[in-house]
């Protein structure tokens, strides 16, 4: 008896939960693409399966009540091996239900498979753990690309000899804009492992597979900013592989597009000049020291040993207020003011290049912790920053070996509290915010810094070789 009542309650409860969930936000997000047919197919499936769920379970509950054993005076069960007619009817009935769901499903899938001719094409490139985009530029055609051409200055591996590639727009901020009401085909490509491009509001998603180009298409129907998530497990930092897509009106889109750099422009950036940087460094030296050795008393970290790309990125972020503008970040605010004195990107490049000419300096180890435990925690950090803490441009992770522990500690605390990394445009900072949360306690913090202090400060050979090839360091 109890079983039957509970089952009826579960059926009613499930329906109630279903009806109630949208008001609590446990439901599909409002659609922002033209795929209303997907939602329709879903509705049909809901009706068919919902009916079966209610009917079969209530029938079962009723059967349990009606035919439960009531002791001695219970009626014996009926001996009925089968009922071919009934079974046939149930089969036919089920087949109709299945067909009612399948037919629209296949119809809409056919729409999805066939991209309309008027769709414009763009490229989404996934890599551990971020999104990069390429728009076709004025000629409306994407240039060819190859994994073997990928380098720091050509992160998408675009073929420099292909004329179609020259005017392609490279979007390396993780935020891409697309115009409303124009069907778009996304060509999906991966640099390293499987990823999956998913925007809940667009309803469609597809994996990115290294070695081939997959695709999806849709027509955006609502302006706004939407989260792009990677939805195929792609390694340790999978959950931090986020991005944004902004659906713009055509005017806004054109305005945004005109600000982006073409592939040809990215290739034409002049080399940095450390001699010019020396002059610019004067303002830095007051706090960071004549040769970048840092000053604990002034809360200025040492700068030696850092890669130029990282220095450039941070100076850029300070200048734009992406880093250091949080009210609780006192020293960051100072840097925002100082970085503002560097007039443009080329000044930033020059001063960064100058800083990398400093000989490396030792750093003091202050923190005492359990090194072995720290090593276990380090497996997570080392994935991006390198197991030896050597840093890695590919994941935009700075070198940590030889860093000063007091400084790293403050940064980790800032990441944890959202003082650093919370800015919308700071995508690598966002990733560190998620990662730093794994350090729960004072002990975790001390242990991992204690391990970091033990890392060799020399740069391993292969990383150096890569750096030399790219001509960015030393």
423: contact with other proteins by CB under 8 A: no
User: Residue 267 CA to chain centroid, in angstroms?
Assistant: 26
User: Residue 417 CA to chain centroid, in angstroms?
Assistant: 20
Encoded tokens for 178? 């697309």
25: contact with other proteins by CB under 8 A: yes
222: contact with other proteins by CB under 8 A: no
How far is the C-alpha of 296 from the C-alpha of 141, rounded, in Å?
53
Question: Residues 219, 183: contact at Cβ < 8 Å?
Answer: yes
Which among 141-149, 176-184, 255-263, 347-355 is the span making contact with other proteins, rule CB under 8 A? Answer: 141-149
Q: Which residues contact 15 (CB under 8 A, 6 or more apart)?
A: 50, 54
Burial label, 266 (beta-carbon count in 10 A; 0-12, 13-18, 19+): middle
Q: Which residues 370-389 are close enough to bind other proteins by CB under 8 A?
A: 377, 379-380, 383
Smallest gap, in angstroms, from Cβ of residue 4 to other proteins? 9
127: contact with other proteins by CB under 8 A: yes
Q: Which residues 229-268 are close enough to bind other proteins by CB under 8 A?
A: 229-239, 242
Window 70-89: contact mask with other proteins (x via CB under 8 A): ----xxxxxxxxxx--xx--
90: contact with other proteins by CB under 8 A: yes
Which among 61-69, 178-186, 306-314, 346-354 is the span making contact with other proteins, rule CB under 8 A? Answer: 61-69
Q: For residue 245, list its beta bridge partners.
A: 176, 226
45: contact with other proteins by CB under 8 A: yes
98: contact with other proteins by CB under 8 A: yes
How far is the C-alpha of 347 from the C-alpha of 319, rounded, in Å?
12
Burial label, 24 (beta-carbon count in 10 A; 0-12, 13-18, 19+): exposed
Which among 24-32, 172-180, 298-306, 314-322 is the span making contact with other proteins, rule CB under 8 A? Answer: 24-32
How far is the C-alpha of 382 from the C-alpha of 70, rounded, in Å?
67
Which among 48-56, 251-259, 317-325, 349-357 is the span making contact with other proteins, rule CB under 8 A? Answer: 48-56
Q: Which residues 156-215 are close enough to bind other proteins by CB under 8 A?
A: 157, 188, 190-194, 196, 198, 200-201, 203-212, 214
3-class secondary structure, 188: strand
Rank residues 120 and 239 by Cβ distance to other proteins and give the closer one.
239
63: contact with other proteins by CB under 8 A: yes
How far is the C-alpha of 64 from the C-alpha of 170, rounded, in Å?
65
In the set 257, 291, 299, 395, which binds other proteins (CB under 8 A)?
395
């Amino acid at each position: 008896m109890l079983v039957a009542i509970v089952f009826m309650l579960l059926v009613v409860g499930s329906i109630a939960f279903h009806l109630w969930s949208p008001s609590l936000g446990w439901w599909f997000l409002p659609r922002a693409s033209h795929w209303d047919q997907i939602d329709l197919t879903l509705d049909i499936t809901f009706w068919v399966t919902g009916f079966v769920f209610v009917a079969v379970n209530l029938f079962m509950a009723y059967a349990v009540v009606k035919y439960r054993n009531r002791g001695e005076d219970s009626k014996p069960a009926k001996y009925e091996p089968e009922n071919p007619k009934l079974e046939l009817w149930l089969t036919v009935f089920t087949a109709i239900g299945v067909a009612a769901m399948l037919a629209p499903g296949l119809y809409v899938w056919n729409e999805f498979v066939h991209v309309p001719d008027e769709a414009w094409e763009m490229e989404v490139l996934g890599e551990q753990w971020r999104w990069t985009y390429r728009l076709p530029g004025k000629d409306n055609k994407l240039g060819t690309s190859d994994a073997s051409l990928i380098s720091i200055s050509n992160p998408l591996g675009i073929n420099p000899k292909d004329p179609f590639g020259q005017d392609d727009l490279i979007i390396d901020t993780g935020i891409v804009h697309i115009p409303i009401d124009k069907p778009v085909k996304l060509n999906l490509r991966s640099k390293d492992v499987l990823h999956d491009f998913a925007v809940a509001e667009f309803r469609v998603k597809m994996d990115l597979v290294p070695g081939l180009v997959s695709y999806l298409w849709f027509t955006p129907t609502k302006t706004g900013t939407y989260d792009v998530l990677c939805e195929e497990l792609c390694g340790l930092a999978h959950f931090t592989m986020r991005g944004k897509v902004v659906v713009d009106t055509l005017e806004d889109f054109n305005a945004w597009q005109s600000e982006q750099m073409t592939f040809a422009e990215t290739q034409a950036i002049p080399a940095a000049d450390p001699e010019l940087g020396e002059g610019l460094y004067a303002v830095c030296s007051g706090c960071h020291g004549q040769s970048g050795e840092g000053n604990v008393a002034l809360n200025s970290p040492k700068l030696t040993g850092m890669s130029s790309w990282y220095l450039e990125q941070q100076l850029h972020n300070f200048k734009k207020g992406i880093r250091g503008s949080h009210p609780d970040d006192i020293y960051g605010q100072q840097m925002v003011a100082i970085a503002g004195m560097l007039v443009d990107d080329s000044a930033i490049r020059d001063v960064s290049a100058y800083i990398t000419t400093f000989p490396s300096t030792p750093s003091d180890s202050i923190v005492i912790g359990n090194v072995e435990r720290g090593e276990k925690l380090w497996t997570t950090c080392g994935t991006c920053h390198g197991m030896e803490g050597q840093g890695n441009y590919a994941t935009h992770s700075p070198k940590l070996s030889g860093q000063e522990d007091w400084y790293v500690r403050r940064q980790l605390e800032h990441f944890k509290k959202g003082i650093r990394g919370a800015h919308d445009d700071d995508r690598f900072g966002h990733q560190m915010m998620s990662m730093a949360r794994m350090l729960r306690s004072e002990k975790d913090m001390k242990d991992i810094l204690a391990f970091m202090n033990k890392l060799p400060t020399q740069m391993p050979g292969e990383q150096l070789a890569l750096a030399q090839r790219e001509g960015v360091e030393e």
